[in-house]
Structure 1
Amino acid sequence: MELLTRTIEAIKPLDHEAIGRVQSRLDNLTKPPGSLGVLEDIVLALAGITGRQPSAPLRKTHILMAGDHGVAACGVSAYPPEVTPQMVLNFANGGAAINVLARHAGVELLLVDVGVASDLPDLPGLLKRKVAYGTANLAEGPALTREQATAALEVGIEVANDCVRRGAELLGTGEMGIGNTTPSTAILAALSGKPVREIVGRGTGLDDQRLELKIKAIEKGLKINRPDPEDGLDVLAKLGGLEIAGLAGLILAGAAARVPVMIDGFISAAAACIAAKLNPQCRQYMIASHLSEEPGHRVMLEMLGLRPMLTMRMRLGEGTGAVLGMTLVDAAVKILNEMATFGEAGVAESLQ
């Protein structure tokens, strides 16, 4: 708990002087003011987060947290729980979508077992930081104890801190866990007060029958557990997700270290909502990569005050949208540093 408390307390406001300096350069580049839209927003955010003008493509590390969910026993997923460890093996062997996109974007990929319900072999790029063998079934009681939730948050903090020590300048959030759109939806319902049927999605492609099972499991879990929406740790513990907790810790650690965090889709946004409940200032350190097809994702981004850069009808998870978003950060930094100013190019500025 000490590490979590220390991290939460270390998060400070953005550096507005640095933002001003970068805004001045942007306004002197050979373009109408603001005409590059989100690309300009990105470098302004980087300046405020880091306190300096980004001068080269950032060193990028994407962290994929894996964990299982007891609520999968309620038939809330189109896939069996055995797929979680099988996909971790696929990630380690380089065969998943996230591997392809990470290679494309020049992003280091780090895998973390924070709660897979089986023992994994030693694998390249895999950190074994298991807090528990999956969560309990949220439809029958708390998914995690408060102590387990704290431990998983601190795994995320420790992993992020180590990445930063090794030179990471941009962190990405990704996850794997069969059934994890169910606790994510439950977290959103608890924090927003919205009806489950209004925000629930089909996850990996549920038919109508399984969708009803998912809705009933979430509604039952909310009724039984009565999570306190003002207590982020209570919501996290009762509704669960060890990988969600790990990602929330990662986000908090990034903010404390003044390192931007690229948020992926629905499950990552659930983690972001928990992190923001623990310290609202961490929202300023997040960059939203894309808008997921999950209906609740838009609600989460609105709660966080974030605008997604991409809308690509994606709903895979793993952090695929986050890694694509990192390529736009590279583009934005290059624009800032490689584009000529009006004076350098000998181009007349607009009439005032």
Structure 2
Amino acid sequence: MKKFNIQPVDCSMQAAIQEKIDNLNKPKGSLGRLEELAMQICLIQQTLEPSLAHPCHLLLGGDHGIEREGVSVSPREVTWQQMINFTHGGGGVNMFCRQHGFKLRIVDVGVDYDLSGIDGIIDRKIARGTKNFLHEPAMTEQEFDRAIQIGCDLVDDCIAEGCRVLSIGEMGIANTSPSSIWMHLFTGTPLKDCIGAGAGLDTPGIRHKYEILNQAVERFKANGFEPLSYFGGFEMVAAIGAMLKAAEKHLVILIDGFIMTACALAAIQLYPAAKDYMIFTHCGDESGHQRMLHAMGANALLHLGLRLGEGTGALCAFPVIDSAVRMMNEMNNFDKARITKYF
């Protein structure tokens, strides 16, 4: 696998950042979580004047062989249908990108459909979906490495345009299944507590999903495979690559819902310091998301009950993060405002 140079954020500026925050014309600590976000972003960027310039959103698409086992209420053709819908501007991700000024890149990493001639979709297809991990590894080591590199290259393209903040979303029917398994393997949470309704499974459907995933995990454990390539989707591994490259380059990384949190968990397993660059934007409605965040020591900004994916939760949270940066750059301090400092 590609090597990354990801260092913990340099905290030598922490006292100076805190002094600036405390001298803004407000009661000490009165902007709560915004002050915590401001501190994190200033440390990431090593500045007292942070910037969220040229925000970019990667929407990564891929299909999953495990879908063939009936673990999702949605059929796999929804993946390519939604990918095309995104090019017409009709998805939730499109609306939020327009609202908050993100440049959207729609990327086919492994959709089981020929999207190569469709304007607005970046063709980085590795294969037409992963293999069925109930019976065999989802991808080869070479495919895994290629997916990581695709994520890196996409981030390099964003950085070349001046990007300082990155959000990532996904489109891939059945990708809650590998996410649940990664959560189980990396946090030790019982598998049944990691599995939810996905796109809308009923109780018998959830039970069937558990039975299939449990069989897959038992076969995996018996053979000693590597969990990222054995279970992951192409879009998920590309997201891990993007997160690691973004952390290496000191970007602010906005982590979306259950699936992207699982990818963040995987990235942190590889490079623990990557967490310093991540903002966990919301806790979704998928069973297990709160448990996974808790296991990672992460505190979500929003609790909106979302489970759409696509990166929509990260985009919804952006105005809060923007407010933290504006606080640092636009509020007066006590001296300039000619207000008595009363603490």
TM-score range, shorter chain: over 0.9
Residue among 214, 233, 237 paired with 2:229: 237
- Sequence identity (%): 36
Structure 1 residue aligned with 2:304: 312
1:212 matched to 2:212? The reply is: no
Residue among 277, 284, 288 paired with 2:276: 284
Residue among 309, 321, 344 paired with 2:313: 321
Q: Distance in 2 between matches of 1:348 and 1:228?
A: 68
Greater Cα shift, 80-89 or 301-310: 301-310
Greater Cα shift, 73-82 or 218-227: 218-227
- Aligned to 1:135, what secondary structure does the other structure show? coil
Deviation, 1:78, is: 1.0
Q: Is the 8 A contact 2:10 2:46 kept in 1?
A: yes
Q: Is the 8 A contact 1:183 1:240 kept in 2?
A: yes
TM-aligned CA distance change 1:44 to 1:75, over 3 Å: same
Letter paired with 2:35: E
Greater Cα shift, 78-87 or 37-46: 37-46
Deviation, 1:21, is: 2.3
Structure 1 residue aligned with 2:68: 73
Task: For residues 294-339 of structure 1, give each alpha carbon's deviation from its aligned partner in whole angstroms, at most 9, with x where no partner exists.
Answer: 1221222223322110000111000000111222221111111111
Task: For residues 142-166 of structure 1, give each alpha carbon's deviation from its aligned partner in whole angstroms, at most 9, with x where no partner exists.
Answer: 1112221121111111111221122
Structure 2 residue aligned with 1:275: 267
Structure 1 residue aligned with 2:241: 249
1:338 matched to 2:317? The reply is: no
Structure 2 residue aligned with 1:155: 150
TM-aligned CA distance change 1:167 to 1:136, over 3 Å: same
Q: Distance in 2 between matches of 1:196 and 1:100?
A: 35
Deviation, 1:252, is: 0.2
Task: For residues 85-114 of structure 1, give each alpha carbon's deviation from its aligned partner in whole angstroms, at most 9, with x where no partner exists.
Answer: 000001111000110011011111111111
Structure 1 residue aligned with 2:173: 178
Q: Is the 8 A contact 1:190 1:227 kept in 2?
A: no
Deviation, 1:55, is: 4.4
Count of matched residue pairs: 343
Matches within 5 A, 1:89-168: 89-168=84-163
Deviation, 1:22, is: 2.0
Q: Is the 8 A contact 1:58 1:330 kept in 2?
A: no
Q: Is the 8 A contact 1:57 1:334 kept in 2?
A: no
Segments of 5+ residues of structure 1 without an aligned counterpart are none
Structure 1 residue ranges (4+ consecutive) displaced by more than 6 angstroms after TM superposition: none
Task: For residues 125-153 of structure 1, give each alpha carbon's deviation from its aligned partner in whole angstroms, at most 9, with x where no partner exists.
Answer: 42111112111111112111222112111
Deviation, 1:227, is: 8.5
1:16 matched to 2:16? The reply is: no
Segments of 5+ residues of structure 2 without an aligned counterpart are none
Deviation, 1:57, is: 4.2
TM-aligned CA distance change 1:125 to 1:168, over 3 Å: farther
Deviation, 1:121, is: 3.8
Structure 1 residue aligned with 2:193: 198
RMSD: 1.7
Q: Distance in 2 between matches of 1:330 and 1:240?
A: 32
Structure 2 residue aligned with 1:259: 251
Q: Distance in 1 between matches of 2:254 and 2:14?
A: 19
TM-aligned CA distance change 1:227 to 1:105, over 3 Å: farther
Task: For residues 229-256 of structure 1, give each alpha carbon's deviation from its aligned partner in whole angstroms, at most 9, with x where no partner exists.
Answer: 9x9xx21111121111011111100110
